[in-house]
Amino acid sequence: MSSHPAQPVEVQPAEAQLAEAQEPETPHLDFQGTTPYEDYVQADVLTHLQHTRSDDPGEMVFLVTTQVMELWFTVIVHEWETAAKAVRSDDVPTAVAALKRSVRELEALNASWRPLGQLTPGQFNSYRSALGEGSGFQSAMYRRMEFLLGEKSASMLVPHRGAPRVHAELEKALHEPSLYDEVLRLLARRGHAIPDAVLSRDVSARYEPSPEVEAAWTSLYAGPENDELARLGEALTDVAELVWRWRNDHLVATRRAMGAKTGTGGSAGVAWLEKRAQKNMFPELWTARSHV
């Protein structure tokens, strides 16, 4: 027998044993090939698309911010196309849900101006020449956003003639009813007096306000607030407000960075943006409020 006294056994408190049992296991780290995260997100592709053209360190944030904007344009187009399809099928709840998601996405898109919103002329000029004739109005995905809002213009397809796939997608969007066109057709199906001139209009042309459409929205807003068409109208109004804010933030950022000079790509710069910022999307949704 051993002459050494037995060593006391240290007993962990029950709480410690429970905590140890609940500790997360080490995540799976060993994969064949790329990680599942990379396969899904393609982060390696995204983070290697930044090819600056100047030595100025500020160009990187300008380029990345612009690329982030393009990604938000893409998801917002997806939401509005989802909403338009749902409206066409008389599925108002699905349309409202898509529009509400797009509102949160528009808020994130608008926040993209923050890294660029206080550029001085000197900071912007340090890499402006690297843009060449590049300009935001040449964005095909932003143009699809505008077309869905009813801001149609066949001339805006011209810059994309050299990219057949992009041109075809834009031409298709030009000749399809806008989101607002689909909503007005829904109102007509629900018994509201939308004139034939609106319902059968050339959807490839820019939408023009109608007194009869204004009267229809006035009637809806004078009724019960829980009416699903009134809720649809408010979701559209939220979208319109944030589009207006996007345009104004763009205007202010441009005015700070370059004043009234001609914009990149030969646009009128601030003068053109000022004209755009004065427009309201879905105009009768705004003017009807004066009559409720």
Both tokens of residue 16? 């410690």
Using the Cα atoms of residue 161, residue 171, residue 142 and residue 264 in order, give the sign of their dihedral.
positive
Stated pTM of the model: 0.87
User: For position 20, what pLDDT does the model report?
Assistant: 55
Which segments are annotated as binding site? 128, 250, 264
At residue 285, the pLDDT reads: 98
What are the binding residues for heme? Answer: 250
pLDDT, tens digit, for every residue of 140-181? 999 999 999 999 999 999 999 999 999 999 999 999 999 999
Q: Is 27 exposed, middle or buried (0-12, 13-18, 19+ CB in 10 A)?
A: exposed
Gap between the Cα atoms of 102 and 93, Å rounded: 14
The answer to whether 238 touches 105, Cβ cutoff 8 Å, is: no
pLDDT of residue 107: 98
- Residue 279 pLDDT: 85
- What the chain holds in terms of domains, given with CATH numbers, is 57-291 (1.20.58.480)
Whole-number pLDDT of residue 260: 80
Task: Using the CB atoms, write b or e for 124-154: b if 16+ within 10 Å.
Answer: bebbbeebeeeebbebbbbbbbbbbbbbbee
* Secondary structure string (H, E, C) spanning the chain: CCCCCCCCCCCCCHHHHHHHHHCCCCCCCCCCCCCHHHHHHCHHHHCCCCCCCCCCCHHHHHHHHHHHHHHHHHHHHHHHHHHHHHHHCCCHHHHHHHHHHHHHHHHHHHHCCCCCCCCCHHHHHHHHHHHCCCCHHHCHHHHHHHHHCCCCCHHHHHHHCCCHHHHHHHHHHHCCCCHHHHHHHHHHHCCCCCCHHHHCCCCCCCCCCCHHHHHHHHHHHHCCCCCHHHHHHHHHHHHHHHHHHHHHHHHHHHHHHHCCCCCHHHCCCHHHHHHHHCCCCCHHHHHHHHHC
Distance, CA of 150 to CA of 137 (rounded, Å): 16
- Enumerate the known binding-site residues for substrate: 128, 264
Report residues of the chain scoring pLDDT below 70. 1-24, 263-268
Predicted local distance difference test score (pLDDT) of residue 123:
92
Q: What is the pLDDT of residue 265?
A: 64
Give the C-alpha distances (Å, rounded to integers) separating 44 from 27, 76, 104, 105: 21, 24, 27, 24
